[in-house]
Amino acid sequence: MKKRNVLLKFSSLVLALGYLSGIFTAVNAYAQEDILTVTQNAGYQTDEFYKPKASIVIEAQTGQVLWADNPDLKWNPASIAKLMSVYLVFEAMEKGQFTLNTMVKATESDQAISQIYELSNNSIVAGVEYPVKDLLYATLVQSSNVATVMLANLVTANDEAKFIHMMNDKAKELGMTNSTFYNCSGAETGSFNGYYKPEGIDQNADNVTTARDLAILSYHLLKNYPDTVTYTSPTQITIMENTPYAEVLENHNYSLPGLAYGYEGADGLKTGSSPSGGFNYAATAKREDTRLIEVVLGVGDWEDQEGELQRHAFGNAIFDQAFATYEYKKLLSKGNNTISQEEVILDQDFYGVIQRNTTPNFKLSADKVEMETGLTEVSPTIKAPSVSFKYAKKLKALQNSALLKTGKKKNVFSTFFINGLFIILGLLFLALSKLFKKEPTSNKKNKFNLLFILGILLVLAGIASSVYTVVIGPWI
């Protein structure tokens, strides 16, 4: 018997170890399929040299993280910083400070900045007026530094330092906890040859952020200002049309459909590159009802310009994996549903992110229906999808109570009418009792007593039934 118990314990130990080993193997296998492996398996030619330093993919409606690799690494985003400047421009327009058609007159400094060879720019001529709309295209399509400076100065009435403080304040407000901005365009302030010099700001500092923070920024930008993709999606566009200053701008986002790494559904957001940051990429793409946002940082090395293309290979590959694995769709319809064996009524349709070909699990929390996905939000400031509900049984009871009250209300008029008749009849009998009081005979006196008592009783009955009707409800 003792030997048998030992064998049973040994067998249980072997099974437990085998189970744990299986889990470890599965986790280890998943961990080994990093972004380089995913990209190579997707058919792109790349190697370890170009592997991004950080990356993230989130779903654009919910902010839930679908992929993350070193997302909190602090990094120089280069021109992706322009997204924050654009956010503040859209916000200023929302407040009514100016419109897309507001004309911005170029200064001598603006023209000088546009001629700095080392900076990405479009042509700007001093004294010429440029519409805000065209400056947005120049900022987001051409990655123009001078156009970004002109827009920033428009927002703050040429207070360059104020705009930098606004960028940092907005970063905190949006939940970008690892971001600090020192310039509005992504290029070091010192590279502007003194034509752009925010007072009190470190002239040689690079902007610092993370893949997560840029995903948070992109999430809020697309959520609050969805027209952003209007300015990030053109592969080519002409600004200042029908003027002597017309200029064709070319987009460096090669994942836009029709370009070198064209990706189905891609329509933005922004690329960025610098000697210290390598090649970076913030992108969004939509397929059916699912829109994704991704950020890829630190691809390759500035000395090897192949990184400009390789960033799109990595971006496309993790987009592919996320689109193939997840979808955003309607999961529950407004109205009657059964959740956790409870009959509930939803106030509206429930949309959320779910792994394809799986059945979602829902839970009731306070007055909200939530979904158990195992996914986390990119920021604590973004709440997981939920929808308000009411318990069907309680609601039915309340409705029945309301119907009962409605039925009673219909009888109130009739009840008060009868109550009034009692009182009127009682008063009539009291009046008659006074008439009969004048008669000298004892028989008349008996009639007087009877009428008086009956009148009093009817009046009291009418008053009592009226009080009952007001306090409790109709008695008929």
Which residues are catalytically annotated? 79, 82, 143
Question: Distance between CA 469 and CA 476 in Å, rounded?
Answer: 10
Torsion of CA 52, 58, 60, 64, to 10 degrees: -160
Which residues lie closer than 8 Å to 264 by C-beta, 6 or more apart? 257, 285, 287
How far apart (Å, rounded) are the C-alpha atoms in residues 98 and 154?
Answer: 9
Half-sphere exposure of 356 (CA within 13 A, CB side): 8
Q: How far apart are CA 86 and CA 92, in angstroms?
A: 10
Whose tokens are 């189970």? That residue is 19
> Is residue 362 classed as helix, strand or coil in its secondary structure?
strand
d(CA 240, CA 248): 9
Query: 449-474 b/e with 16+ CB inside 10 Å = b?
Result: eebbebbeebbeebeebbeebeeeeb
Tokens of 447: 């009639």
| Residue 210 CA from chain centroid, whole number | 20
Q: Which of 470, 432, 468, 424 is nearest to 453 (CA)?
A: 432
| Distance between CA atoms of residues 189 and 170, nearest Å | 20
330 is in an annotated binding site: no
Q: Which residues are annotated as a binding site?
A: 270
Q: Which residues are annotated as a binding site for substrate?
A: 270
